[in-house]
Amino acid sequence: MTLRLPCAAPLLKTPPTAVLEGIAGFVPPDAVANDALPAAWGVDDAWVRRRTGIAERRRAAPGVATGDLALEAARQALAVACRPLVDAVIVATSTPDRPMPAMAPRLATRLGLGGSAAWDVSAACSGFVYGLAAAVGALASGCADRVLLVAAEVYSTLLDPQDRSAGIVFGDGAAAVVLRRGERDEPGGVLALDLGSDGSGHDLIQVPGGGALERSRPGEYGPDDRYFRMRGRDVFQHAITRMTQSAHTVLKRADWAVEDVDRFCAHQANARILSAVGDRIPVPGERHVTNIARVGNTGAASIPLALADAAARDELRAGERVLLTAFGAGLTWGSAALVWPELPTVPRIDDLDPAVRIPVA
């Protein structure tokens, strides 16, 4: 009698992942150069560039909200991917149009994708990487065949006019990627992810008011608590340490040596942080993907916006191994590794659509 053992091959098969098939970014047309910053801040172009590496940042026009920027970036990303059928929409943002409901269902309907699964991710400047992990999970589990992941911020709505430390850094923008279910060995496949958090640092980057705490304790909060606050010096070292550690974790999970990394794209916090993280991994500066000088820190949108910008300028080539890492409020952090795919022409991030000036209905 011959004993037939079950085939082990299915048990050893690598689970599916997300494969990038479209990307696009969008920034509002209004640019604020360093020389146009408020005189009361007492800064000049040289001072801002030296401290942050930023020359200008974009500001959404009055009446333009996060959902409007998200819509424009999503439309263009879907066009790059040849407008495929999408059955899940994820939005990563810290500046939603409303506290409730989530932005994603409304965005899906505006895109003609009503009926698809849709939800928001709130992980501050780590939001894109967290959203990427959520997309991988949805695709690998079979909950979706294709996911639209959008990261968008209108930080100008949170900035205190008297706070130059945040005002010189943050800008408004959005970016989107289209992801389909596929295999890790495909170009565009997400090979590895790492996520982490440390809630003991919750007060280092925050908007204290506007939530349930303020509503339940109105006497403890004032109008200024609706503004963004950050303890920059404390955040600086946390960001460098966490992004460096997370990047090394992802390299190990992807089975990459540091020398294997062709392009490195970190959250565009400020140029000094980017340089410090790159030095500690280490990845040479010529391999960095960055556009912070032209758009500032766009929060959750910063990584996909930098990637879309680089792709539009032919600075990202198919087959290049790309390392991503981010850090944000929470505290949260995360990293990802993928091999860049061959993509159709990606539009420039400042290609404008007049419809973006129409306020959200």
Cβ neighbour number for residue 2 with a 10 Å cutoff:
3
Q: List the catalytic residue out of 34, 270, 291, 297.
A: 297
Give yes or no: 125 in active site.
yes
Q: List the catalytic residue out of 34, 265, 267, 291.
A: 267
Give yes or no: 288 in active site.
no
CB neighbour class for 205 (10 Å; exposed up to 12, middle 13-18, buried from 19): buried
18 within 8 A of 135, measured Cβ to Cβ: yes
Phi and psi based region of residue 115 (left: phi greater than 0; alpha: psi -120 to 50; beta: remaining): left
Q: List the catalytic residue out of 34, 125, 270, 291.
A: 125
CA-to-CA dists, residue 26 to 96, 239, 346, 358, angstroms: 17, 26, 11, 15
Buried b (16+ CB within 10 A) or exposed e, 174-200: bbbbbbbbbebebbbbbbbbbbbbeee
Tell me the H-state helices in the chain: 9-12, 45-52, 66-80, 103-110, 127-141, 164-167, 212-216, 232-254, 271-280, 292-295, 302-312
Using DSSP, state whether 146 is helix, strand or coil: strand
Q: Which residues contact 295 (CB under 8 A, 6 or more apart)?
A: 27, 56, 57, 58, 171, 173, 268, 305, 309, 349
Token look-up 């263009």 returns 76
Instruction: Round to whole Å and give the CA distance between 239 and 168.
Output: 19
106 within 8 A of 88, measured Cβ to Cβ: no
End-to-end Cα spacing for the chain: 73
82 within 8 A of 344, measured Cβ to Cβ: yes
Q: For residue 92, how far is the Cα from the chain centroid?
A: 7
Give yes or no: 267 in active site.
yes
Q: Is the dihedral of CA 276, 281, 285, 289 positive or negative?
A: negative
207 within 8 A of 334, measured Cβ to Cβ: no
The residues assigned a catalytic role are 125, 267, 297
